[in-house]
Amino acid sequence: MTKHEKKMEKIALDIRKYLKEEDLWYDTRIYFNSMCFCSNTEGGIIEDINPKDYFEYANPKTLSMSFEGPLYEVINYGDGGEGIRNILEKYGYYFELGNAWNLSIYEL
């Protein structure tokens, strides 16, 4: 695993942990390193997956997310995803929404 892939995995783990702690880990996927953490899949991991197959604005070079339910509400009608923004800033990244139900991250 490259240094970049390790960083994306660490970011994904931190985001998933945050979402679970805040009771937002529903109807959510976190895509990174050709894999995905999925709140709706037994075992929680999908291998060999490309987020571009699921939404146009995905960034397979970093990390992308798709979401419905409580996370959708927080990002679109709540605090705008402040908790996720704080995690990303620690690593030198920010997110942009592609649609109201997905986002991708980019370097600051």
Q: Which two tokens stand for residue 67?
A: 């979401």
How would residue 1 be classed by pLDDT, with cut points 50, 70 and 90?
Answer: confident
Is pLDDT at 99 greater than 90 in this prediction?
yes
Domain boundaries, the chain: 3-107
pLDDT band at 7 (very low <50, low <70, confident <90, very high): very high
Overall pTM > 0.85 = yes
* Residue 41: partners with Cβ closer than 8 Å, 6 or more residues away: none
Q: SS3 for 60?
A: coil
- Per the document, the length of the chain is 108
Q: How sure is the predictor about 8, in pLDDT bands with cuts at 50, 70 and 90?
A: very high
List, for residues 12-26, the tens digit of each pLDDT value: 999 999 999 999 999
pLDDT tens by residue, 53-88 = 999 999 999 999 999 999 999 999 999 999 999 999
> Is the per-residue pLDDT at 52 higher than 90?
yes
- Give pLDDT tens digits for 38-50: 999 888 999 999 9
Judge whether residue 91 has pLDDT over 90: yes
Q: What is the DSSP string of 66-89?
A: EE-HHHHHHHHHSSSSHHHHHHHH
